[in-house]
Chain A
């Protein structure tokens, strides 16, 4: 009797301590693959959700004739808050919206300029949203328009956008940011937020460039090459192609395939007590293509010249990005402030509030690049056309 009692108590404690109470079947869910957040003219929040029809998204023409149908719908709703808009969406959608499968959050340009902190609160607070989903800013179009974009290659636009962002991040032309990283960068002292941008180009979307934020507000853009400069400074470029002039025929190009980058930064103090930085970028790459055929130079000389121009090009791009952030946006997305904070916390305390406005735009930044070209692919010289 006593043992039975103990057993029941144990089970009781186990059952009441914590549990997932909501048993929902897969068929009772509307599967969201992307979110869009826009700011309407009257200052309200418009949330758009891209909902896929799994059988359409899955079929891919398997069941004959299904191939031409659109696999998703975009539903939007306007309210004062994100959560409010989502909740009221049930008047337009039959099943409860399942947020966890969302792949990407698109923030409209207007919404981003007004500040994203309020939008992020819900996405971080709710237990169903995935911290792994990407966040991106739409440039020149509303988020809803991006969500409504159809793609020929995929019936799940959310997943298509996510894959594209991740691919372009490796090239260095944009930056892929997960929701959790956005939150981390927002909360990091001495470093401003920046993330990838998406825009509409012709009948499809194009992901390139970086949106620069100051605090939580969008202040401007970096073009693709500035973006790559930024990515070189951060050491985040994984695989990109640098086109430099052929040392033998300056009108022709040599493509360098960058395979490995790393960067280091060093804080130095100038004579008048201001911080200055030296960024050291190390790059490894191969010769991917060479136009212009044969010339008179020796291979070692070519290599030396190509390495040199590679260094210059990376340095130029990096400086472009740094100067633009310093002069135009006054936003330290490169995280130099973090280094100051780490090295001299007390000094940082005194300049923290003025860092972006007074200090960062004026600090001196030197960029040193060290490239190594290791291989030349399967050919050591271009073929000789005779």
Chain B
């Protein structure tokens, strides 16, 4: 018979199959044997056996080397125990250790052996005492080395530059420093049967809708997975729909962005070991929003929003429009442009569709190579890509110059909205194919299906197209246009329904006043 996950796990940490939570043994020798068995062949496992100074009680301190700060451990735990010179006046050894000996600030009592093992593997030191059926968990985790840096993926020219790191505590502190409020809740969950990764849910009580928090918890509880090595693993489990063409969960590496999302009533999910933080619910309009939109000149921000939206449209529609017009609707091209295009296409052996398909695939290959290649050979790829493939294809008469322009423009435009880059690449193909089958009509059909699909989507109960469909007029202030901060009177209504939605009552400073 095949063993279930749980059985394997139990066998692994040395327990019988029926009793999952066994008490900690009174005998220190038994504990020692058990630990040695559980952590056999773990060269980084350390078990330090000492006696309490005057009392002669044996204790074991168990931890993983490198995972804990050894200096703090020696100073606050080992030293005081060995050098303890008082006596044991009407106190148990445990009480004595807790109140008089160990000077570490984070200390917790554990009662089951399984808990102690969990604590050791998550980087704490555990102290077992001879003759007692309890143990201490001492928080002496060594801090991570990577500093807080600007994330490469989200570059801003203005505003905060900090980015999340791989360390969970650093990340929660980065958020806590921005939202100094006890209402900012950080709920901890452990995920991953084998990896036991720390996950936290962050939200602001009083802003977030409770149903959303409950839904996130419910979905995370459902996850049974070997390991959570990145938040992306969770993303796939909790997102709505089996085949999401569009991103359904927000990703960010910037604490200021995540903090802003929390203030709008969203829930953030942070996993230890990933600098990317997830935010839910995720709406399509968020793909066009960036932090800088809210700084300074709001009219320019609005212009950029619209530009970004237009660029996304160009990136998915332009090659298809080119193919549709040159192969079906030549009539609508202005005469002079028509001559130019006809001249450029003369002698090209492929149809416009084949040509467009080839060029788009080439572009995808170049862009993938650009991301994956080692930095040192970047120059070579861009030269080969831009000059050799583009210029040479045109002069060899394999591709026409207008098409190279069209594909290049569509490609560049797709980089302007990074969250929709992958979506755009797929849609570009689909719409191109429909355009070749039915011309502009095909593009129309594809667009209708696309819009229907989008209107049908929901993210954690919130319609994906909010605030356009369903229309929330109050939320339009931060959609394709951005109104100044002082005019954003309410938090997003769709996300904070039933809670306090007042965001600002400020006014712009004007000389005239009122």
Contact = CB atoms under 8 A, between A and B. Distances in A.
A18 B445 CA distance: 12
A101 B335 contact: yes
Contacts, number: 73
A12 B489 CA distance: 47
B455 to A, nearest CB: 15
Interface string A20-54: 10111111010100000000000000000000101
A320 interface: no
B346 A101 contact: no
A18 B448 CA distance: 16
Given A14-B445, A100-B330, A26 B341 contact: yes
A29 B342 contact: yes
Contact of A128 (B328, B331, B336, B436): B331
Interface string B320-347: 0000001111110001101111110111
A160 to B, nearest CB: 12
B339 A98 contact: no
Contacts of B346: 27, 54-55
Contact of B340 (A24, A27, A58): A58
Interface string B347-358: 110011000000
B342 A54 contact: yes
Nearest to A22: B328
Interface in A110-154: 128, 130
Contact of A101 (B338, B351, B436, B440): B338
B439 interface: yes
B332 to A, nearest CB: 9
Contacts of B348: 27
B350 to A, nearest CB: 9
B326 A25 contact: yes
B439 A31 contact: no
A26 B336 CA distance: 14
Interface in A142-194: 156, 159
Contact of B330 (A29, A57, A58, A59): A29
Interface string A205-249: 000000000000000000000000000000000000000000000
Interface string B465-492: 0000000000000000000000000000
A15 interface: yes
A54 B329 CA distance: 18
Nearest to B341: A26
A19 interface: yes
A59 B436 CA distance: 29
Given A14-B445, A18-B441, A23 B327 contact: yes
Contacts of A156: 339
Nearest to B355: A25
A156 B347 CA distance: 20
A256 to B, nearest CB: 35
B438 A31 contact: no
A103 interface: yes
Contacts of A19: 438-439, 441
A11 interface: yes
24 contacts: A14-B445, A14-B448, A19-B441, A20-B329, A20-B439, A23-B327, A24-B328, A25-B326, A25-B345, A25-B352, A26-B341, A26-B352, A29-B342, A31-B342, A52-B339, A54-B346, A55-B343, A55-B347, A57-B339, A58-B343, A100-B330, A103-B335, A130-B331, A156-B339
Contacts of A18: 441
Interface of B: 326-331, 335-336, 338-343, 345-348, 351-352, 436, 438-441, 445, 448
Contacts of B448: 14
Contact of B441 (A20, A26, A101): A20
B328 A101 contact: no
The 10 closest A-B pairs by CB, nearest first: A58-B343, A54-B342, A54-B343, A100-B331, A26-B345, A55-B343, A20-B439, A20-B328, A25-B351, A55-B346
A359 to B, nearest CB: 43
Contact of A23 (B328, B335, B440): B328
A30 B341 CA distance: 13
A101 B445 contact: no
Nearest to A18: B441
A11 B438 CA distance: 12
A61 to B, nearest CB: 14
B328 A26 contact: no
Contacts of A15: 438, 445
Contacts of A52: 339
B443 to A, nearest CB: 12
Contacts of A11: 445
Nearest to B349: A27
B326 A26 contact: yes
Contacts of A14: 445, 448
Contacts of B343: 54-55, 57-59
Interface in A276-331: none
A27 B351 CA distance: 8
Contacts of A54: 339-340, 342-343, 346
Contacts of B335: 101, 103, 159
Nearest to B328: A20
